[in-house]
Chain A
Amino acid sequence: MQEEIKIEFKDTNFWYNSKQILVGINLKIYSNKITALIGPSGCGKSTLLRCINRMNDLIPISKIDGKLLYNNENIYEKDTDVIELRKEIGMVFQKPNPFPMSIFDNVAYGLRIQNMKDKNKIKQIVKESLEKADLWDEVKDRLNLSAFRLSGGQQQRLCIARSLAINPEVVLLDEPCSALDPLATAKIESLLRKLKNERTIIIVTHNMHQAKRISDYTCYLLNGKVIEYSGTAEMFDNPKNKLTKDYINGEFG
């Protein structure tokens, strides 16, 4: 089966305040698949995720070298337009972080900062995005309600809708379910399975069951290094590396 490569790490190293977080990462992420990043906390999986949309730029004392190709172009070139990059690579955070405005305005935020003025078009896209995020039916009568009045699971789906509104090619999710109950988690997982038809999804999770349930590929990180990377079924059924085996057995034991 021929897979299209969407993102590729080539010998990527990352330092935070002279402490090396990522060590010689080489990793290919495939189009229209869900890739899960697993590993113990502090292994660098969130940092790796944040390299992809350059959110790490916000940390002044960080340094990166090596290459990170997105659609075969290095995104750490001097003339990379970070703003355009982030429009194509959406992100959902660990803790739901709706903005303190109405549900509608939250989803419309990304459109408005791109100077979209056409009100009907905005309405249309907001509706579609909420539908894609399985939230439309729950909120369609109260779009002017403050986003903070929604439950945690709803807030997280709102954040997913918000990032879908600007039609990104890639969606990064940083432990999106860690603050949610099992029911809300199940909803988000089924939503992600639906989304991968059109988009590339990368999810950081500390929950190996979740990785096994939803992902096509799984990458196990330890101390900033890729220990093992393969198809999810293969990794969980027959891990090649002893470290991976120990980690998986520890959890599933």
Chain B
Amino acid sequence: MPNYRNIKEKLIELLLSTASITALLILIGIFVFLFITGIRTFTEISPTEFFLGNEWNPTAYGEPKWGILSLVIGTIIVTFGSLVIAIPLGIASAVYLSEIAKPKIRETIKPVIEMIAGIPSVVLGLIGILFLSPLIAKIFGLSSGLNAFTSSIIVGVMVLPTIISISEDVLTSLPNEFRESSLALGATKWQMIRMTLLPAALSGIVAAIMLGLGRAVGETMGVLMVAGNSRAMPISFFDPIRPMTANIAIEIKEVVKGSLHYEALFAIGLVLFVMTFVVNFISDIIIEKQVRKYKW
């Protein structure tokens, strides 16, 4: 009887631990498949041309161009633009929700913000095409509103819930003594927030921004539908652009499997993977720091 019991316990543990390795295998699998396909690109194209060439035109007759610099810059512009919108709005909303709003208002608004997170990006992209871009074109007198600026707004809205909910969690988890001791010294509520809470929550808020940044870099539909898809090197915020994600989505269906073009798209995927991996890794370390400080 005890023997049978021990065997059963061991079998269940084995089953559960096997399941838990799946996640690790997926991550390794993603890296390996991107790597073995993507790396073959560099047997024919030099890394210098790939990373520093500013023209991407793999299907050009006779002389294809393989430089991803303009795509990378597209990604950087949209990421930057979306964060410029989402960071101030996100932190302000988090402070409002955790410190200022009455409980009833907070409990109404929080689900609404979770709902924004639940709207599929393709729907936000649709709003970008049908509503926002004509509006932007009209306001700024452009021929087309499908550009980096409009796309930044859409991606900013997508990133916003991430920044709000994580920053709010960090603020709420700060010990109440911070608030009480600060108010007891005669600080106003705003002084308490500015001089006590925000500094204490700083690393957590930075982590929230990093996670938002990771999402913005990887966002596809919000740029594919709204950013204008031009491969030319952008000069201003109102130029149409084509970030890396959009480029993969546009071209992957058309390419011949196993061709150099196919491999090059995987190489772009690998660049994206590494970028988001690094961003997430850093935010992970920062969150760990915040957790250790305040048991968040």
Is A181 on the interface with B (CB-CB < 8 A)? Answer: no
The total of chain B residues at the interface (CB under 8 A) is 2
Chain B contacts for A84, CB-based, 8 A: 2
Per DSSP, chain A at the interface is helix
Within 8 A of B (CB), among A188-244: none
Chain B contacts for A59, CB-based, 8 A: none
CA distance A110 to B20 in the complex (A): 30
CA distance A83 to B2 in the complex (A): 9
Is A141 on the interface with B (CB-CB < 8 A)? Answer: no
Chain A contacts for B2, CB-based, 8 A: 81, 83-84
Is B102 on the interface with A (CB-CB < 8 A)? Answer: no
Is B104 on the interface with A (CB-CB < 8 A)? Answer: no
Within 8 A of A (CB), among B1-58: 2, 5
CA distance A84 to B2 in the complex (A): 9
Which residue on chain A has the smallest CB distance to residue B1?
A115
Which residue on chain A has the smallest CB distance to residue B9?
A83
Question: Distance (Å) between the CB of A87 and the closest chain B CB?
Answer: 11
Chain B contacts for A81, CB-based, 8 A: 2
Question: Distance (Å) between the CB of B247 and the closest chain A CB?
Answer: 48
Chain B contacts for A83, CB-based, 8 A: 2, 5
Question: Distance (Å) between the CB of A78 and the closest chain B CB?
Answer: 13
Within 8 A of B (CB), among A107-135: none
Question: Distance (Å) between the CB of A221 and the closest chain B CB?
Answer: 30
Within 8 A of B (CB), among A3-34: none
Which residue on chain B has the smallest CB distance to residue A84?
B2
CA distance A84 to B5 in the complex (A): 11
Within 8 A of A (CB), among B211-262: none
CA distance A83 to B9 in the complex (A): 12
Chain A contacts for B5, CB-based, 8 A: 83
User: Chain B: residues with CB nearer than 8 A to chain A?
Assistant: 2, 5
